[in-house]
Amino acid sequence: MLETTGDGRRRVATTKLAAPQPPARLVSRPRLLASLDQVRESLVALVSAPAGAGKTLLLAEWVGTRGAGETAWVSLDADDNDERRLWSAVLDALAGTTLVPADNPLATLPVPPFPSDDPGFLAQVVNALEDLPEPVVLVLDDLHELTTEASLRGLEALLQHHPAGLRLVLSARTDPQLPLARLRLADQLVEVRGDDLRFSAVETRALLATAGIELSHDQLHRLLAQTEGWAAALRLAILSLAGTGEPERFLDDFATNDRAVAAYLVDEVLSRLPPDMHEFLRTVSVLERVGTELAAELSGRADAGALLDTIAERTSLVFRVDTAPPRFHVHTLLRSHLLADLARLDPERAARLQGTAADWYAARDDAGRALTHATLAGDPARTTALLHRSALPLALDGRHELVRGALDALGARAVVGDGLLALVSALLHLEQGDPAGADRDLGHADAAWPDEPDPDLAELRTLVRSRRAQFTGDVDDLARVTEDLAVRSGTLDAPALLQRGSALLATGDWAGAREQLGAALRAARAGEHDYVAMQSLTQLSGLAAAEGDYGLMVTLATAADEENTRRGWQHTVEAATTAMLLAYGALLRADPAECLRQALRAGLVVDGGDPPTMRGLHLSVQTMRGAAEFELGERTTGAQRVAAARVASGTGHFSGEQVALCATLEHRMALLLGWGPAAAEVLAWAQEALPDSAEVALMRARAQLVLGRRDAATKLVRPALDGSARPVLRWSEIDAWLLATEIALSAGDGVRARRSLKRALTVGQQLDVPYPVVFAAPEITDLLTSQLGKLGGPAEKFAERVFAKRRALHVPPMVPLTARERAVLRLLPTLRSFEEIADDLTVSANTVKTHVRAIYTKLGVTKRRDAVAVAQERGLLEGEQDDTP
């Protein structure tokens, strides 16, 4: 029997009235603390979330921030359904705060036998609270333990009268049976719910750090997906992770095999449910989203909807996510545990339930879910039938992992003997950057080819072959294969239009490409083929790049990239193409760090294989990466990377934009490094592909200027300035006027130099491309500095932007050395005297000293030793060098 004092109060343990002490390595959550602080202006705060969500810990931390003695705390349990015990605890907790004066009645008020039904008692409590000089906060933790009407009636009275001296903070696993709706409408209720309590990625990483655990980005997000940010599950995972050196293996088994999680779910969730509810949950665990109609079909229970509502109220790990039709979500860990339990106890029943779900979804044209359940049922006939019906549409929607999983479940033999499945498999291999796998499947399709193929099947084979040709980067091959693609009213319209537009883009027919790609985008969106829509955006971005609309290029590529990230398509070839275009945009903005980041993203997909299997895309990606490295100070590495990519690309016929971009950037690097033969080689490559282009004219002119042949350079650059040589890259016009500026400066013609520089700035401002000006020769930068404040208009603003970029980069400029300076530089590491170097080069000692002074100036040094160090760092002593770049 409980001990009672003379005034009718129960004796209450002091531990029941004390907030728990937060752990020493607490991860503070300021966003939630700020939410609770709003209770000062409201009347009630409700923290409602499932077991283990971190409710008590959050409240304990919040109470600690309010100062000792300012908050009353009661930890509730089942015994508090004795209302006299409950009110004794509440009064003792309130009287124990520093905000309740010693003479306040709360300290001595007798508790009658049935306090919740005693109006006089309740009035005395309300009056005592009303008289407080400032509000006291009462925290009632674990309110779900109060299950009797009597225990809740007294609290209801407090809510109805809401005395000015009281603020209530209620914590429960489910919403209490109290009249909170009125407070919600009056904006007097602060709510912190399960979704709010879920740990974010930042908070999870901080929680892991308290245990000295570090996970990769992907591992962290896998853990978050499995736990759904549930605090209890995260803490259990951390305990296990701390004892293993194999986080990847742990994450593979965590959801289904972690004993600590299983024990927690059984003890805290499932043990509180009647056996029939537990069995019902086990049955519907085959569903990722539990619809009431299908739940009734699987369980044979007509009351499935009402049962799900009841379970949701009791556990909070099951909750409604849709209302029409009603569907419920079972927490990932709970569902994984139940599903594993079902498969262990009755594997045949588990397979039957999966098959029933597959047929149910198939009858309602939900191909994705139908195929998922058929695969899990392990039924080859059902899976094959569904693949024939929906594999291609699902692939065009971007459901690659789903279709690949079903094909893998059937095994290689099913694909080998089935032309349709072999072609779908080939298409999936291509999207994942595996042309070799696609070639094998194309061979299987040919071997299984029927004598009289269905037109759609024949069209699919042509489509796959066209996509395969795109991987080589060979424009002629792509154009030849794509000629046979037809557009009919059917599933393949959007991808056929896409391939035709891609081929026209590669061959330089921009008007035709725009028409076909625009039609592809419209058809894809009309047919809800999201993946093809994203591909169309990517190719339209490439078209914008070809046309020199670099702002539109970045806008479209960003839209496609966001879709890739949102839909999990980051490891596809199209995602790599998008990242490459974003890298190009970053380079033109003179942001080499971002260019490198995007190029590395693209490289994760395209850099495999020797020789590379995706030659055209590999060439572009490596060019971007090399250019970024070069501008970030890794001169030799960057130049060598671009050269290696060009050589590895072979003899294919690439698009003009790919050749021009690679050649322009590599030729500039080679000249700045003094690599004459390399410059000559890339010039020959570009001249063969683009003989009449402005880019080739610029490369030839620049090479002559480096050799000191100013008149020849002037003659060669003229076609790029007057428009008689067509630029493949629109921004080459900026390059042309910068080169004209450099030539004029070398001739001492200041008027022509200033005029040419202003033209370069004007074009740069029009195209929004600062790159060539930011990395221009120092003498051009000096001229630009002298002209600041005199340019006026857009050119002035663009010049200011250029200088801001240069200041942010902190990379020393590169100045090309003359052939004689390079010859002297190569002899400096030998420690020969200047007189000995002069004898070797058959020149005078004074001439050598003049060259050395020029070398020091261009390298930014004052000593011979430093000149050698800088030359080695920049690769100026590497490779063959001669006078014929």
Question: Residue 859's domain is classified under what CATH number?
Answer: 1.10.10.10
Residue 236 inside a domain? The answer is yes
CATH code: domain of residue 102: 3.40.50.300
Residue 588 or 102, more confident: 588
**183 closest CA partner among 197, 171, 168, 194:** 168
The pLDDT value recorded for residue 406 is 95
List Cβ neighbours of 276 (8 Å cut-off, separation of 6 or more): none
On the question of a cis peptide bond just before residue 611, with omega within 30 degrees of 0, the verdict is yes
Residue 235 inside a domain? The answer is yes
Q: Is the pLDDT of residue 250 over 90?
A: no
On the question of a cis peptide bond just before residue 325, with omega within 30 degrees of 0, the verdict is yes
Residue 87 or 818, more confident: 87
Instruction: With cut-offs at 50, 70 and 90, classify the pLDDT of residue 234.
Output: confident
Q: Is the pLDDT of residue 831 over 90?
A: no
The pLDDT value recorded for residue 874 is 67
Residue 527 or 6, more confident: 527
Regarding whether 206 and 161 lie in a shared domain, the answer is no
Contact 524, 487 (CB under 8 A): no
Instruction: With cut-offs at 50, 70 and 90, classify the pLDDT of residue 619.
Output: very high
**261 closest CA partner among 245, 241, 237:** 237
Contact 867, 855 (CB under 8 A): yes
Region 49-75: mean pLDDT is: 86
Region 850-859: mean pLDDT is: 80
The pLDDT value recorded for residue 812 is 60
Residue 685 inside a domain? The answer is no
The pLDDT value recorded for residue 1 is 37
Q: Is the pLDDT of residue 363 over 90?
A: yes
Regarding whether 170 and 30 lie in a shared domain, the answer is yes
Regarding whether 157 and 241 lie in a shared domain, the answer is no
Instruction: Output the average pLDDT for the chain.
Output: 88
Q: Is the pLDDT of residue 859 over 80?
A: no
Regarding whether 241 and 111 lie in a shared domain, the answer is no
Region 347-354: mean pLDDT is: 95
Residue 592 inside a domain? The answer is no
Pair of tokens at residue 79: 């015994």
Domain boundary among 570, 601, 631: 570
Residue 136 inside a domain? The answer is yes
The pLDDT value recorded for residue 815 is 62
Q: What is the pLDDT of residues 408-441, one digit of tens each?
A: 999 988 888 899 999 999 999 998 888 889 999 9
The CA-based dihedral angle spanning residues 96, 97, 101, 104, taken in that order and rounded to the nearest 10 degrees: -50
φ, ψ of residue 492 to 5 degrees: the values are -90, 0
Q: How many domains does the chain have?
A: 4
Of the given ranges (99-113, 374-388, 569-583, 737-751), which has the lowest mean pLDDT?
99-113
Region 367-393: mean pLDDT is: 95
Region 639-664: mean pLDDT is: 89
* β-sheet bridge partners, residue 319: 329
Regarding whether 27 and 136 lie in a shared domain, the answer is yes
Strand 318-323 to 326-330 pairing:
antiparallel
Regarding whether 559 and 482 lie in a shared domain, the answer is yes
> CA 424 from chain center: how many Å?
27
Residue 333 inside a domain? The answer is no
- Terminal-residue alpha carbon distance, the chain: 102
pLDDT more than 70, % of the chain: 95
Q: Is the pLDDT of residue 729 over 80?
A: yes
Region 39-59: mean pLDDT is: 88
Q: What is the pLDDT of residues 698-727, one digit of tens each?
A: 999 999 998 889 999 999 999 999 989 999
Q: Which range of residues forms the domain containing residue 22? A: 14-197
E strand intervals along 288-369: 290-291, 318-323, 326-330
Q: What is the pLDDT of residues 73-125, one digit of tens each?
A: 999 998 989 989 999 999 999 998 988 888 888 888 999 989 988 899 999 99
List Cβ neighbours of 31 (8 Å cut-off, separation of 6 or more): none
CA angle 13-18-21, nearest 5°? 130
Q: SS3 sequence, 368-429?
A: HHHHHHHHHHCCHHHHHHHHHHHHHHHHHCCCHHHHHHHHHHHCHHHHHCCHHHHHHHHHHH
Regarding whether 135 and 121 lie in a shared domain, the answer is yes
Regarding whether 213 and 185 lie in a shared domain, the answer is no
Q: Is the pLDDT of residue 348 over 90?
A: yes
Q: Is the pLDDT of residue 883 over 50?
A: no
Regarding whether 246 and 192 lie in a shared domain, the answer is no
Pair of tokens at residue 2: 């409980």
Regarding whether 38 and 126 lie in a shared domain, the answer is yes
Strand 44-48 to 166-172 pairing:
parallel
Region 344-362: mean pLDDT is: 95
Q: Is the pLDDT of residue 609 over 70?
A: no
Q: What is the pLDDT of residues 292-332, one digit of tens each?
A: 999 999 999 999 999 998 888 777 678 787 777 888 888 88
The pLDDT value recorded for residue 814 is 59
List Cβ neighbours of 269 (8 Å cut-off, separation of 6 or more): 50, 51, 315, 317, 334
Pair of tokens at residue 380: 């080859």
φ, ψ of residue 96 to 5 degrees: the values are -85, 0
Contact 802, 784 (CB under 8 A): yes
Q: What is the pLDDT of residues 672-698, one digit of tens each?
A: 988 888 999 999 999 999 999 999 999
Regarding whether 493 and 554 lie in a shared domain, the answer is yes
Domain boundary among 532, 547, 570: 570
Cα separations in angstroms, 867 against 185, 200, 692, 859, 877: 76, 52, 40, 7, 11
Residue 389 inside a domain? The answer is no
Region 825-831: mean pLDDT is: 82
Regarding whether 92 and 227 lie in a shared domain, the answer is no
pTM: 0.73
Residue 560 inside a domain? The answer is yes
Give the span between the Cα atoms of 128 and 120, in whole angstroms. 12
* β-sheet bridge partners, residue 661: none
Cα separations in angstroms, 93 against 45, 109, 141: 18, 13, 13
The pLDDT value recorded for residue 608 is 63
Of the given ranges (11-20, 263-272, 361-370, 569-578), which has the lowest mean pLDDT?
263-272
Domain boundary among 268, 293, 320: 268
